[in-house]
Amino acid sequence: MATTADIRKGAVIYHKNKRMKVLEFLHVKPGKGPAFVRTKLKDIASGKIIDETFNAGVKLDFLKIEAKKMQFLYNDDNAHIFMDNITYDQFNIVNDLIGDAKHYLKGGINVDLLFDGDEVLDIRLPAHVNLEVSHTEPGIKGNTATGGTKPATVETNFTLQVPLFVDEGDILKIDTRSGEYIERVKS
């Protein structure tokens, strides 16, 4: 058993008979009274997010989560298909578990799937992905990098704001944590 001092972002704990992922945490030491830890937890099964406060030093049950490198193959109607890079076993992951990660998944990308035993708990994306622009309005001569922005749709049907000079067919580097444009990799 570990204590509240071991809480980290992304850790999975067993709390209230549910597996909860730590989204945020803050250790607080008020001027009066004992220290405590304020957390934002996500119920892995339902996706519900709750705020929970623990007194400092409380024992928590941390789950040992295994990360396996997988390659995304394709998406069918109700699941995303991944392949283990070592054993070549394929895993069907329901779309509900994928969530917003679907915006950054294209065939061939390597991700980490987080397992508790044989059950997939979560998907961990790389920090950045390169995606091709499939649709955007054409840029106008004279537009600069410091100008405004326009919407662009990339190959995964995700729409984001990009600088005015970006054209269809450009490859963009996108931050998977915020969904924001970083730079144009290739035009």
pLDDT of residue 145: 52
| CATH, domain 2-62, list 3.40.190.80, 1.10.3720.10, 2.30.30.30, 3.40.50.1370 | 2.30.30.30
Q: Is the domain 128-186 a CATH 1.10.3720.10 member? A: no
* Segments of the chain assigned to CATH 2.30.30.30: 2-62
Helix (H, G, I), strand (E, B) or coil at 178: coil
User: CA-to-CA distance for 151 and 164, rounded, in angstroms?
Assistant: 9
Structure tokens at 171: 């490859």
Q: Is the domain 66-124 a CATH 3.10.20.30 member? A: no
Residue 181: closest CA among 143, 133, 135, 138: 133
User: CA-to-CA distance for 57 and 36, rounded, in angstroms?
Assistant: 8
In the numeric block, the tokens 């004279």 are attached to: 142
* Segments of the chain assigned to CATH 2.40.50.140: 66-124, 128-186
User: Digits of tens for pLDDT over the chain (187 positions)?
Assistant: 688 888 888 888 888 888 888 889 999 898 888 999 999 998 877 778 999 999 988 899 888 888 889 999 998 888 899 999 889 888 888 887 788 888 899 888 999 988 877 778 778 889 899 999 999 888 666 655 566 788 999 998 899 998 888 888 899 999 988 889 999 887 6
Which residues are 62's β-sheet partners? Answer: 13
